[in-house]
Amino acid sequence: MNFELNESQRVLEEAVRGFAAAEVAPHATKWDREERFPREIIPKLAALGLLGMAAPEAYGGSGLDMTSVSVVIEEIARHDGSLALTIASHNGLASAHIARQGNDAQKRRWLPRLARGEALGAWCLTEPGSGSDAAGGMQTRAERRGGDWVINGTKMFITQGSVGDIYVVLAQTGPNKQHGITAFVVERGSSRGVSVGKHLEKLGMRSSDTTEVVFEDCVVPDENRLGDVDKGFQGALGVLERGRISIASLALGIHRGALEEGRKYALERVAFGKPIAENQAIQWMIADMATTYEASRLLVRRAAAMQDAGLRTPFEAAAAKLFASEAATRACDRAIQIHGGYGYIREFPVERYWRDAKLCEIGEGTSEIQRLVIARQILKNGLRV
Ligand SMILES: Cc1cc2nc3c(=O)[nH]c(=O)nc-3n(C[C@H](O)[C@H](O)[C@H](O)COP(=O)(O)OP(=O)(O)OC[C@H]3O[C@@H](n4cnc5c(N)ncnc54)[C@H](O)[C@@H]3O)c2cc1C
DSSP character string of 362-384: TTTS-HHHHHHHHHHHHHHH---
Q: What local confidence, expressed as pLDDT, does residue 300 receive?
A: 98
Quickly list DSSP for 155-217.
EEEEETTTT-SEEEEEEE-SSSSTTSEEEEEEETTT-TTEEEEEEPP-SS-TTS-EEEEEEEE
Q: How far apart are CA 349 and CA 354, in angstroms?
A: 9
- Report d(CA 216, CA 212) in Å as an integer: 13
Contacts within 8 Å (CB) and 24+ apart, 191-194: 191/218, 191/219, 191/220, 192/217, 192/218, 192/219, 193/151, 193/217, 193/218, 193/219, 194/167, 194/218
Q: Answer whether 209's CB lies under 8 Å from 235's CB.
A: no
CA distances, 9 to each of 6, 85, 299 (Å): 5, 21, 18
Going by alpha carbons, the residue nearest to atom 24 of ligand 1 is: 131
How far, in Å, is the centroid of ligand 1 from the Cα of 157? Answer: 9
Among 132, 196, 209, 212, name the best residue to mutate to test ligand 1's pocket (greatest count of ligand atoms within 8 A of Cβ). Answer: 132
- Nearest ligand 1 atom to alpha carbon 362: 20
Would you state the pLDDT for residue 3? 80
Q: Which atom of ligand 1 is nearest to the CA of 160?
A: 8
Instruction: Give the number of the atom of ligand 1 that is nearest the alpha carbon of residue 89.
Output: 8
Pocket test for ligand 1, best of 155, 157, 184, 200 (most atoms within 8 A of CB): 157
Which atom of ligand 1 has the smallest separation from the CA of 170?
11
CA–centroid distance, 282 to ligand 1, in Å, is 35
CA distances from 3 to 68, 249, 384 (A): 12, 14, 17
CA 135–ligand 1 middle distance (angstroms): 12
Helix (H, G, I), strand (E, B) or coil at 63: coil
pLDDT along the chain (385 residues), means of 10: 88 98 98 98 98 97 97 98 98 98 98 98 98 97 97 98 98 94 95 95 98 98 97 96 97 98 98 98 98 98 97 97 98 98 97 98 98 97 86
Instruction: Note the residue count of the chain.
Output: 385
- Side-chain-side CA neighbours of 98 within 13 Å: the count stands at 38
Q: With CA atoms as reference, report the closest residue to 284 among 329, 325, 334.
A: 334
Residue type, 112: P
Q: Which one, of 129, 186, 136, 115, lies nearest residue 157 by Cα?
A: 129
In order, the DSSP letters of 97-151 are HHHHH--HHHHHHHHHHHHHTSS-EEEE--BTTBSTTTTTT---EEEEETTEEEE
In this prediction, residue 1 carries a pLDDT of 67
Pocket of ligand 1 (CB under 6 A): 89, 123-126, 131-132, 157-159, 202, 205, 210, 359, 362-366, 368-369, 372
Whose alpha carbon is nearest atom 27 of ligand 1? 131
Instruction: Answer for the pair 320, 245: CB distance below 8 angstroms, yes or no.
Output: yes
Do the beta carbons of residue 37 and residue 99 sit within 8 Å?
A: no
**What was the pLDDT predicted at 39?**
97
> DSSP letter at 58?
G
The minimum-distance atom of ligand 1 relative to the CA of 368 is 47
* Total Cβ atoms within 10 A of residue 136: 9
Ligand 1, from 37, 362, 373: best to mutate by most atoms within 8 Å of Cβ? 362
> What are the structural domains of the chain?
7-120 (1.10.540.10), 122-232 (2.40.110.10), 233-381 (1.20.140.10)
Q: Could you list the active site residues?
A: 364
Ligand 1 center–CA 368 separation, angstroms: 10
Cα 161 to averaged position of ligand 1 atoms, centre (Å): 16
